[in-house]
Structure 1
């Protein structure tokens, strides 16, 4: 275990940290500059996504259907959106998140004399197969968990089954939803396991401390009013941080993050604009958080230790 922790500490993802990253004054300036760029990026990304979605939908079904899309934002009682409304919401959120993340990281990284690609995998070519590997592995695990819950007696009615009347329509919806969730997940991974991880690692190198801090801030930014859900998101953020440290980049984390969200949206509950309502603390979710953390760590280690998977994805040891 000590050898693995030392390998994570010497991750090649952190090997290019420089005195610019360790300059507290640059970090202090990077935060407001990044936030300003994030606001601009979010506006531009949201506008592009909005126009794209409206052009596509109006071209298919005309103006009346286009007007119905906005009900997902304006109707507070809409608990079960249609397939088009759900995809519309995902498109806008993906555009806003991606624009904000790219804007923030680009501006903050420039102050630290770092290119955007340095926050992905240290400037190396993007490893698409690693992303797909994370997507498939976590989807298999999460699907098994949902299936086990259904077999144990929990009432689970997959939202994807209500979106379209036939298998072809459901497959098209699922494909589009997964694609949009990959973009949204890439935005969060670029910001949290990219910029934030590098910046905190410039001052702290202990992997456990990095996992705890990154998970804490990742959960906090979602503004969930429920402590149990906060702990689950914190565990997820910690597990994704381990992936970035062990694999030397955020590609595996993007796939894993997208798969987690996709299984929830497709099999558990539909995507809506309504915030989560406060509820009583569910102690059982503590076990879920621990299982999620162990699962994400396990996917990272499997990607490194299973020879066939390692060769296919191009995964390499994390040590610099």
Structure 2
């Protein structure tokens, strides 16, 4: 018969030398480690579902949306008040709705673009501190902005925009309208260079901020409640359209533009393609207006004819036709 052997603590037996003494009186009890500051995004999910973390609750997207809307409105209205005060002291006739665009175009552009651009850090703050997930998950499924991919998309957008300008110009000539919107009275370098500097510096942030709000935050906020991306894409495009001043065919164009940006965001797993197209489109339009000495004219939106859809429509079609296969060929990640 085998003799029993002494078992160690790992074997469930009494440790050599007898049982361990109890902890000294008053010793602190074991404390569970605090929860992580942020939750990791769920693995294997598309971009619009990245807000479905362990901390996801119904109120987080709501509170985050109210925060972005409220503080963003304060920024925009505050800068608008500054513009109004400066205009009043400068003797601008504020009863004329066109006065700011014609008499103070550069300052109008600066305050408008800056007010919109400031919503970008608000989105990142809400993602990090309201939804408690990595701020980079607002950019893409990779958890960051994929700069190389965005630069490539911007290059495609530039080519598509130049082709669209050619289409618009050709239509204007064939329809007997002359050069149309391309009939530019050169404003001179003294007027163009300051405006171009402002456009190149501020407009990319303004366009990127709109993408983070509409194709980023809003689509992921809907994704926190439902798995299909299309309600978020439709609602974000409608809100995007409503915040522009266009009417008639212009409204249809802005809605279609927003919907295409939502589609390419879903298909490429991030905001890079949408930002690239939006930045190039806006910068090109503002530079063309600045060359004619009408720096703020793109902000003076209103009723437009159906012809406005021709060139930009071609721009969208070319961009999607090139970028989507390119993303597949380059194995751009579409899931976390």
Q: Would the TM-score normalized by the shorter structure come out above 0.5? A: yes
Query: Cα deviation per residue 1:102-133 (whole Å; 9 max; x = unaligned)?
Result: 23552465222234332122573432223322
Q: Check whether the contact 1:126–1:251 (CA below 8 A) recurs between aligned residues.
A: yes
Structure 1 alignment gaps of length 5 or more: 1-8, 55-66
Instruction: Give 1:28 deviation, angstroms.
Output: 3.3
Q: Counterparts of 1:197 and 1:303 in 2: how far apart (Å)?
A: 24
- The worse-fitting range, judged by mean Cα deviation, of 123-132 and 157-166 is 157-166
Q: Counterparts of 2:325 and 2:187 in 1: how far apart (Å)?
A: 34
Structure ranking higher in helix proportion: 1
Q: Counterparts of 1:128 and 1:250 in 2: how far apart (Å)?
A: 11
Which residue, out of 137, 140, 161, partners 1:118?
137
Please show how residues 49-64 of structure 1 align to structure 2 within 5 Å.
Answer: none
Instruction: Give 1:245 deviation, angstroms.
Output: 1.7
Q: CA 1:150 to 1:12, structure 2 compared with 1: closer, same or farther past 3 Å? A: closer
Q: Which residue of 1 aligns with 2:204?
A: 182
Q: Counterparts of 1:198 and 1:277 in 2: how far apart (Å)?
A: 31
Which residue, out of 244, 248, 251, partners 1:230?
251
Q: Which residue of 2 aligns with 1:132?
A: 151
Q: CA 1:170 to 1:41, structure 2 compared with 1: closer, same or farther past 3 Å? A: closer
Q: Counterparts of 2:253 and 2:323 in 1: how far apart (Å)?
A: 18
Q: Which residue of 2 aligns with 1:256?
A: 277
Q: Which residue of 2 aligns with 1:63?
A: none
Q: CA 1:176 to 1:270, structure 2 compared with 1: closer, same or farther past 3 Å? A: closer
Structure 2 alignment gaps of length 5 or more: 1-43
Q: Counterparts of 1:72 and 1:104 in 2: how far apart (Å)?
A: 36
Instruction: Give 1:199 deviation, angstroms.
Output: 0.7
Q: Which residue of 1 aligns with 2:67?
A: 33
Q: Which residue of 1 aligns with 2:335?
A: 319
Please show how residues 166-181 of structure 1 align to structure 2 within 5 Å.
Answer: 173-174=195-196, 176-181=198-203
Which residue, out of 120, 127, 142, partners 2:161?
142
Q: Check whether the contact 1:72–1:78 (CA below 8 A) recurs between aligned residues.
A: yes
CA RMSD of aligned residues (A): 3.9
Q: Check whether the contact 1:160–1:170 (CA below 8 A) recurs between aligned residues.
A: no
Which residue, out of 223, 233, 236, partners 1:214?
236
Q: Check whether the contact 2:233–2:262 (CA below 8 A) recurs between aligned residues.
A: yes
Q: Which residue of 2 aligns with 1:91?
A: 110
Q: Counterparts of 1:162 and 1:151 in 2: how far apart (Å)?
A: 21
Instruction: Give 1:96 deviation, angstroms.
Output: 0.7
Q: Which residue of 2 aligns with 1:277?
A: 302
Q: Check whether the contact 2:199–2:283 (CA below 8 A) recurs between aligned residues.
A: yes
Q: Which residue of 2 aligns with 1:193?
A: 215
Q: CA 1:271 to 1:17, structure 2 compared with 1: closer, same or farther past 3 Å? A: same
1:301 aligns with 2:301: no
Q: Counterparts of 1:131 and 1:74 in 2: how far apart (Å)?
A: 43
TM norm structure 2: 0.67
Q: Counterparts of 1:157 and 1:287 in 2: how far apart (Å)?
A: 13
Instruction: Give 1:301 deviation, angstroms.
Output: 0.4
Query: Cα deviation per residue 1:140-164 (whole Å; 9 max; x = unaligned)?
Result: 2122111222233143354876232
Q: Counterparts of 1:74 and 1:125 in 2: how far apart (Å)?
A: 46
Structure 1 residue matching 2:145: 3-state secondary structure = coil
Which residue, out of 164, 169, 172, partners 2:188?
164
TM norm structure 1: 0.69
Q: Check whether the contact 2:164–2:315 (CA below 8 A) recurs between aligned residues.
A: no
Q: CA 1:123 to 1:151, structure 2 compared with 1: closer, same or farther past 3 Å? A: closer
